[in-house]
Amino acid sequence: MKYVNADIIFPEELLIEIQKYIQGGMVYVPKPKGMHKKWGENSGSREILNVRNDEIRQSFFGGNTIEQLSDQFCLSIDSIKKIVYSKKIV
């Protein structure tokens, strides 16, 4: 998060109003509800995991066992079960 000086970005009237509530402190201004991104959307991690999970599902439904997939993808058996038994359709 980047620090921004309020007197640079806010109009003077708004700054005076804010100063009635806090002086010399730091305030976090959250993004509007529709602007939040889910985990991994900026870095691409979410897409990488989706591709991996799809590959795990396809391998499972292609005949590989959960134990084989656990070894192949270096994930716990419980993690593999969560992936293959999730409601997402291949």
Q: What is the mean pLDDT of residues 40-50?
A: 88
Query: Is there a domain that residue 21 lies in?
Result: yes
Total domains in the fold of the chain: 1
- Checking if the pLDDT of 79 tops 90, the result is yes
Crossing angle of helices 66-73 and 45-61, in 10° steps, is: 150
Domain assignment present for residue 89? The answer is no
How many Å apart are CA 64 and CA 35, to the nearest integer?
Answer: 41
Averaged over 57-79, what is the pLDDT? 96
Q: Where do we find the tokens 């900026």?
A: 42
Is 58 part of a structural domain of the chain?
yes
């009237």: which residue's tokens? 13
**90 in any annotated domain:** no
Say what the pTM is.
Answer: 0.59
Domain that holds residue 30: 6-84
